[in-house]
Amino acid sequence: MITEANFLPGSGLIEEPIGLAYIASLLEKNDYSVNILDNNIDKLDDEQILNYIKSKRPKTICIGFTTLQADDAYKLCNIIKKDFQDIHLVLCGVHPTLMPEEAFSKGNADFVVIGEEETTTLELTNALKEGKNFRDIPGLAFKENGKIIINQPRKLIKDLDNLPFPAYHLLKWKKYQTNIHGKYENKRAFNVIASRGCSFKCNFCLGSMLYGGSLRLRTVDNVIKEIGWIISNYGIEYIHFEDNDFLLRTEEWIKEFCNKIISKKIKFKWLIQTRVDSVIRFKEHLNEMRKAGCVGVELGIESGDEIVLKKINKGININKMKIANDLLKKSDIDPFYLMISYNEGENLDSAYKSAKLIYELENNCNAKSEFIPYIKNLKRNGEIPIMGHQSLPTIGTQFREDIDKKGAFFAKKWSDYTIDKINFIPIELLSDIPVKNGVDNDSVNTHIKKYENQIKEYMSTSFYLPENLVNDNFKTYEDYAGFLSELYSLCNGTTTVKKLAESISKTHNLSIQITVSGLMILSILRLIKSKNQRA
């Protein structure tokens, strides 16, 4: 049996656990009987989970989870082990890979799979069946005489074509919410992974750490075969490619992929995630991609502040963003902008610069007046084209190293590790000084109310202002607008963001995050700006 730990509220759409589905398919291919329980969908309580296990009587339970799910996963592990001591408990996923010792101590695990799970899990299952030595299984950790043994690392799977397609038949697949955005937002899509790995070194990403900076591609024929299998077996005609960067491959691969889709008349629409420099590199093939059904691209923009882009080691600039955006629109491919708030290096002006950049990208212009509130006309085809989230200093990333020297870090437990919370505020922002931008105090409240709908739209995209942060602290928008007006009145041009936030935290019993996010909204409205302005 394979299970997914509970998905925590406020973490976005529930998507199929593709990693566990890959493990299940490989086990089934080798004649093992497998069930998947995804409690994000089934929502069973503790007693129901135990009854489910009793009914299935598995010999092994594999639980996969991220850092965000770790607290929930450990609770589940201990519930299972209390009643089923004879069941082998295997933990896998990103968090056990990063913290195997904790998986044993808190999760009561019998085994921990480190790195890519499929082959290791199969070899472990075979060893349990045949009574073989666990020491010969790369990528496995286990306990022997009370001591944790961590075997040599497993080499990455060379030929991804050898993996069977994910076992979606074991999932209640109609209940998942994957989509490809925009006008197709309400159309059910499936995720497909056509490659693994990434050669770039963005400081916030685990990709290069987990996969060693290497890129492994499935063949065109194998990917197209899976798409045909999805269409014929599930009636799904929308595909969301989950590759870190779909265009991080050869032109020959893309040409062959598009040509075969067109020549075989495979009818489906698809969306990819990529970088702006990759779009520019493939500019000659964008029209061909559109003919083959590519309707959207998630672009890793991250920030509209050049200093921040350098700080997070993104390796792109705003000029490249505009070129890539223009190329996509000319090819009738919708760009969707992936943004991260509260990056390293941000100051008060960073929020304004990011909002201004989105406005310019959406309207294909170079905005001149700084007094245009760049939160107008956000919607495209009924959807806001921003996918924003807060920065997250994930364990194992360069971002996480010396985090206390880089700013204020707020996560106290694993369930705090969500991109929908403000877990980090950079030191450059805390030490910044807000100054008023020529609007008198009496006019501010009117100004804030005027843009109520746009501010709410920013809240819905989690762009600098997580919706839950406002809803948990203010009964109405009017209350929040009043808070913003008061916050503006306190910007005297001498007090730092940190001191201002600490003062309000004491007098109003509000978190530092509420005050800082409020200042960022005032910056987006251009009611305030940084005293320490930079180019």
Question: What does the alpha-carbon distance between residue 351 and residue 339 come to, in Å, rounded to a whole number?
Answer: 11
What does pLDDT average to in each consecutive run of 10 residues of the chain (535 residues)? 59 80 98 94 92 95 94 94 96 96 97 97 98 96 96 96 97 90 88 93 84 87 98 96 94 97 97 97 98 96 96 96 96 94 96 90 70 58 78 94 96 93 97 92 83 80 84 90 94 96 93 95 92 79
Model pTM greater than 0.95? no
Distance CA 215, CA 213 (A): 7
Contact partners, residue 531, CB within 8 Å, separation at least 6? 432, 433, 434, 435, 493
Q: Rounded to an integer, what distance in angstroms lies between the CA atom of residue 399 and that of residue 402?
A: 8
247-265 pLDDT, tens digit each? 999 999 999 999 999 999 9
Question: Collapsing DSSP states into helix, strand and coil, what is residue 231?
Answer: helix
pLDDT for the residue numbered 378: 63
What per-residue confidence (pLDDT) applies to 368? 57
Residue 320: per-residue pLDDT: 97
Task: Give phi and psi for 340, each to the nearest 5.
Answer: -120, 130
Question: Where do the domains of the chain lie, and which CATH numbers do they carry?
Answer: 2-144 (3.40.50.280), 178-341 (3.20.20.70)
91 strand-pairing partners: 63, 112
Nearest residue to 68 (alpha-carbon basis) of 394, 351, 296: 394
Nearest to 179 by CA among 295, 29, 31: 295
pLDDT value for 367: 61
Total residue length of the chain: 535
Give pairs for 517-521: CB < 8 Å, separation 24+.
Answer: 517/422, 517/464, 517/465, 517/466, 517/469, 518/483, 518/484, 518/487, 519/348, 519/434, 519/487, 519/491, 520/341, 520/348, 520/351, 520/464, 520/465, 521/351, 521/455, 521/458, 521/464, 521/465, 521/484
pLDDT, position 379: 66
Residue 11: predicted pLDDT: 43
- The predicted structure's pLDDT at residue 373: 55
